[in-house]
């Protein structure tokens, strides 16, 4: 997300946990953090102005489903002014919110906001945090020290990265996201099947090729200047939220910036809570989010994961007449053949077993998904036997 990356730790809280204001910044304090509050007290779909740690400290414990954080990268350490070959100055990040006096000060800040975020996460919630080589390794260490359980590191490979003008290093063409659960025991949300289906039935990998935020998506002021220097692309946020949240979930962004998390959350039928220190960023974010329309309920409906669908054994497919005893099944390339037995097993010569066992046997592999491996010939074309199972499930649910 675009990040308001506050550099203030333990600043006086100014945010009001409000159910009516869309940007809450009144001087009145919220309830004390020690008071157990009901979910109705959550400032859903609001932007809280002020220090993110103070804001999170006033939210109810275990109240959000997901955290997406784009904290300060601390880019200034060791960096001098950067110019292009034509001597024009590169528009680098030099805002006050990204400046820290030392690595130690940055580590203290990181541990403080991660601790605050973990308190408000539900037991089965997850956190995404993005960074560059300047900070992501320090963030990862703090995550583990605080009890988070790292699930993946995702490489966001940029389609159009900024060149390395000095020619003394590799071009920085990626950033890293860490995806972590609140604890090793968390039963977190992960829409494996949906991601795989959208990826041409291939498992979604941990390297994502997504362009930078450009064009109409990039927020600019009246003079044509970028409103925020590190605005993230909506496609990046959409993939994280589709992977790890459900419609109606609450997504917290401690470094809200120009509101990419809020815009994507609203479009996908999720709630957001944003914390932002800079009122200018918050105003731009609010206008942006107000222009977003939520997708229809039908388009946001979650597909039933295959693992939770009714179990239909291959014998039932045979008994229903979709596949006949004595029929020959083959793989998609017609390399292997097996005969269907009346008891729902397959046989190849003297060997017999389940569709999975025999599929593995003929390929010389330790395992095989027989449902997708074996095919039956119908009308001169090969049909995957899993299609018959899908048809029976549809009939059962009709």
Q: Where are the domains of the chain?
A: 46-76+91-299, 314-397
Radius of gyration (C-alpha) of the chain in whole angstroms: 26
pLDDT of residue 230: 67
Q: Which residue has the higher pLDDT, 32 or 180?
A: 180
Please give the backbone phi and psi of residue 381, each rounded to the nearest 5 degrees, phi first: -125, 150
Q: Which residue has the higher pLDDT, 308 or 248?
A: 248
Is the pLDDT at 34 greater than 60? The verdict is: no
Mean pLDDT of 326-337: 97
Mean pLDDT of 342-365: 96
CATH number of the 46-76+91-299 domain: 3.40.50.150
pLDDT of residue 177: 96
In what order do the strands lie in the sheet containing 271-276?
Answer: 23-24, 46-49, 271-276, 250-253, 64-69, 121-131, 174-181, 149-158, 207-210
Span of 23-32, 48-57, 229-238, 360-369 with lowest mean pLDDT: 23-32
Q: Is residue 151 very low, low, confident or very high in pLDDT (cuts 50, 70, 90)?
A: very high
Encoding tokens for residue 370?
């027989």
Is the pLDDT at 369 greater than 60? The verdict is: yes
**258 in Cβ contact with 227 (< 8 Å):** yes
128-148 pLDDT, tens digit per residue, is: 999 988 899 999 999 999 999
pLDDT of residue 397: 60
Mean pLDDT of 171-198: 93
Mean pLDDT of 221-228: 68
pLDDT of residue 145: 97
256-312 pLDDT, tens digit per residue, is: 988 999 999 999 999 999 999 989 889 989 999 999 999 999 889 887 666 666 789
Is the pLDDT at 216 greater than 50? The verdict is: yes
**20 in Cβ contact with 43 (< 8 Å):** no
Q: Is residue 44 very low, low, confident or very high in pLDDT (cuts 50, 70, 90)?
A: very high
Encoding tokens for residue 82?
């950067």
Mean pLDDT of 346-374: 96
Is the pLDDT at 353 greater than 50? The verdict is: yes
Give the CB-side neighbour count of residue 28, counting CA atoms within 13 A. Answer: 6
Residue 133: exposure state from Cβ atoms within 10 A (0-12, 13-18, ≥19): exposed
Is the pLDDT at 80 greater than 80? The verdict is: no
Encoding tokens for residue 74?
């601390």
pLDDT of residue 81: 54
Q: Which residue has the higher pLDDT, 168 or 215?
A: 168
Is the pLDDT at 355 greater than 70? The verdict is: yes
Long-range contacts of 307-314 (CB under 8 A, 24+ apart): 309/393, 310/393, 310/396, 310/397, 312/389, 312/392, 312/393, 312/396, 313/344, 314/344, 314/354, 314/355, 314/370, 314/371, 314/385
Integer Cα distance of 34 and 58 in angstroms? 9
pLDDT of residue 199: 87
Is the pLDDT at 91 greater than 60? The verdict is: no
| The pairing of beta strand 337-340 with beta strand 174-181 | unpaired
Mean pLDDT of 93-97: 52
In order of 127, 136, 240, the CA distances from 174 in angstroms are 20, 12, 16
Angle, helices 260-267 vs 279-290, to 10°: value is 20
Is the pLDDT at 33 greater than 90? The verdict is: no
Span of 47-56, 72-81, 100-109, 225-234 with lowest mean pLDDT: 72-81
pTM, entire model = 0.68
Q: Which residue has the higher pLDDT, 171 or 330?
A: 330
């Amino acid at each position: 997300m675009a990040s308001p990356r506050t550099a203030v730790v333990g600043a006086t809280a100014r945010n009001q946990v409000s159910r009516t204001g869309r940007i809450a910044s009144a001087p009145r304090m919220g309830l004390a953090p020690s008071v157990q509050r009901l979910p109705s007290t959550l400032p859903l779909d609001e932007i809280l102005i002020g220090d993110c740690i103070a804001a999170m400290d006033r939210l109810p414990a275990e109240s959000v489903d997901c955290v997406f954080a784009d904290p300060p990268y601390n880019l200034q350490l060791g960096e001098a002014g950067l110019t292009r070959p034509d001597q024009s100055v590169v528009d680098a990040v030099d805002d006050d919110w990204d400046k820290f006096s030392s690595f130690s000060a940055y580590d203290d800040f990181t541990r403080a906001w991660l601790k605050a975020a973990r308190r408000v996460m539900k037991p089965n919630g997850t956190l995404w945090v993005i960074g560059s080589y300047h900070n992501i390794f320090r963030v990862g260490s703090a995550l583990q020290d605080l009890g988070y359980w790292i699930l993946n590191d995702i490489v966001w490979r940029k389609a159009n990265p900024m060149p390395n003008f000095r020619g003394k290093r590799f071009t920085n063409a990626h950033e890293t996201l860490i995806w972590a659960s609140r604890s090793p025991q968390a039963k977190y949300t992960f829409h494996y099947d949906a991601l795989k289906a959208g990826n041409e039935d291939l498992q979604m990998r941990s390297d994502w090729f997504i362009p930078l935020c450009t064009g109409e998506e990039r927020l600019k002021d009246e003079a044509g200047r970028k409103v925020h220097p590190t605005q993230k692309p909506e496609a990046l946020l959409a993939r994280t939220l589709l992977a790890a949240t459900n419609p109606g979930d609450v997504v917290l962004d401690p470094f809200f910036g120009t509101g990419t998390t809020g815009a994507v959350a609203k479009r996908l039928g999720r709630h957001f809570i944003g914390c932002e220190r800079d009122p200018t960023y918050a105003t731009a974010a609010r206008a942006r989010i107000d222009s977003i329309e939520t997708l229809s309920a039908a388009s946001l409906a979650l597909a039933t994961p295959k693992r939770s669908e009714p179990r239909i054994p291959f014998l039932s497919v045979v008994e229903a007449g979709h596949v006949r005893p004595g029929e020959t099944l083959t793989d998609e390339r017609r390399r292997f053949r097996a005969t269907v037995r009346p008891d729902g097993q397959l046989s190849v010569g003297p060997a017999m077993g389940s569709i999975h066992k025999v599929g593995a046997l003929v390929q010389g592999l330790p395992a095989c998904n027989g449902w997708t491996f074996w095919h039956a010939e119908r009308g001169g074309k090969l049909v995957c036997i899993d299609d018959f199972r899908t048809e029976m499930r549809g009939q059962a649910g009709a």
